[in-house]
């Protein structure tokens, strides 16, 4: 059974600091997603990582994928309060090259709290 | 263009009842998938439909069922509700060949 584990599960940090969220998964997959969820809201897509070594950046967030280590990281640079949210990584275990299967296995989520 | 629309936004039911949730995908999207989100179990995959066919199913009891119509709209049904079915139910759509899922705002179901 595919497992996706994130750590830490809760992160409280000061504005301006850097930190990294880790996402480990237990089976081979070349497709990994990062989502953000604000309280009471739905999931917002942040990044899609499609191959080993993929790196994507958007603002203060940068995501990378190491398929050999089955590890993805989400790095936060100079955090600001607006980044406070829960971040999920998710893996598509059934990607066959003809499109995603719609079946994602999610990590537990990392709740990020950025203090002014 | 309009996003994924889920109705109703909130539902309160009692044990033993059944419930139907609706999801309208983004125009042109043919894949619709459903997820259950609870504080204890997190986000769990329920099932996925593509062109009216169920392609994938998660590990949920048979009380959970779904269908997709020819216009790609999807419904999810839960029969004989249990207290543990209280959750946020999220629907997501994609083109099928697209690389990401677009999620709706969800239906918050409370079973009393």
Distances A44 to A48, B60, B103, B107 between C-alpha atoms, Å: 12, 25, 7, 16
| Interface contact B43-A42, CB threshold 8 A | no
Contact B81, B18 (CB under 8 A): yes
* Residues forming a β-bridge with A36: A44, A87
Residue A103's CB is within 10 A of a number of other CB atoms, namely 22
Contact B56, B46 (CB under 8 A): no
- Predicted confidence at residue A101, as pLDDT, reads 64
Contact B101, B23 (CB under 8 A): no
What is the three-class DSSP state of A54? Answer: coil
- Predicted confidence at residue A40, as pLDDT, reads 84
- Residue B100 in tokens: 């990401």
- Predicted confidence at residue A31, as pLDDT, reads 84
- Predicted confidence at residue A37, as pLDDT, reads 95
Question: In chain B, what residues touch A35 (CB-CB under 8 Å)?
Answer: 103
Question: In chain A, what residues touch B54 (CB-CB under 8 Å)?
Answer: none
Q: CA A10 to CA A76: how far, in whole Å?
A: 14
Q: CA B29 to CA A42: how far, in whole Å?
A: 18
Question: In chain B, what residues touch A98 (CB-CB under 8 Å)?
Answer: 97
* Residue A48 touches partner B, C-beta closer than 8 Å: yes
Q: What integer best gives the mean pLDDT of chain B?
A: 93
Question: In chain B, what residues touch A48 (CB-CB under 8 Å)?
Answer: 99-100
- Predicted confidence at residue B99, as pLDDT, reads 61
The end-to-end CA distance of chain B, in Å, is: 37
pLDDT in tens, B56-90: 889 999 999 999 999 999 999 999 999 999 999 99
- Predicted confidence at residue B101, as pLDDT, reads 87
Q: Across the interface, which of B32, B90, B99 has its CB nearest the CB of A48?
A: B99
pLDDT of chain A, 116 residues: tens digit per residue:
789 999 999 999 999 999 999 999 997 777 899 999 998 888 999 999 988 888 999 999 999 999 899 999 999 999 999 999 999 999 987 655 555 566 889 999 999 999 98
* Residues forming a β-bridge with A115: A14
* Residue A39 touches partner B, C-beta closer than 8 Å: no
**Alpha-carbon dihedral of residues B97, B103, B64, B74, nearest 10 degrees?**
-70
- Predicted confidence at residue B2, as pLDDT, reads 78
* Residues forming a β-bridge with A95: none
Q: CA B112 to CA A67: how far, in whole Å?
A: 44
Q: Across the interface, which of B45, B98, B104 has its CB nearest the CB of A104?
A: B45
| Interface contact B98-A99, CB threshold 8 A | yes
What is the distance in angstroms between the Cα of B24 and the nearest Cα belonging to chain A? 15
| Interface contact A102-B99, CB threshold 8 A | no
- Predicted confidence at residue B56, as pLDDT, reads 85
- Predicted confidence at residue A102, as pLDDT, reads 67
Question: In chain A, what residues touch B98 (CB-CB under 8 Å)?
Answer: 99-100
- Residue B18 in tokens: 């059944």
What is the three-class DSSP state of B83? Answer: helix
């Amino acid at each position: 059974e595919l497992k996706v584990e994130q750590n830490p599960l809760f992160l409280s940090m000061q504005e301006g600091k850097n930190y990294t969220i880790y996402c480990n998964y237990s089976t081979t997959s070349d497709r990994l997603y990062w989502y953000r969820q604000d309280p009471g809201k739905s999931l917002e897509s942040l990044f899609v990582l499609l191959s080993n070594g993929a790196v994507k950046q958007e603002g203060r967030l940068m995501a990378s994928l190491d398929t050999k280590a089955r590890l993805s990281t989400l790095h936060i640079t100079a955090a600001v309060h607006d980044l406070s949210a829960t971040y999920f990584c998710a893996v598509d275990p059934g990607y066959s090259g003809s499109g995603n299967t719609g079946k994602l296995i999610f990590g537990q989520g990392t709740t990020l709290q950025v203090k002014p | 263009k309009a996003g994924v629309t889920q109705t109703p936004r909130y539902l309160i039911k009692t044990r033993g009842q059944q419930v139907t949730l609706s999801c309208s995908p983004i125009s042109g999207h043919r894949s619709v998938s459903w997820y259950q989100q609870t504080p204890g179990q997190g986000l769990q995959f329920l099932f996925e439909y593509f062109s009216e066919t169920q392609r994938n199913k998660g590990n949920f009891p048979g009380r959970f069922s779904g269908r997709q119509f020819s216009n790609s709209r999807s419904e999810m049904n839960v029969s004989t509700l249990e207290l543990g079915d209280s959750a946020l139910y999220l629907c997501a759509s994609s083109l099928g060949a697209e690389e990401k899922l677009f999620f709706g705002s969800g239906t918050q179901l409370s079973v009393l």
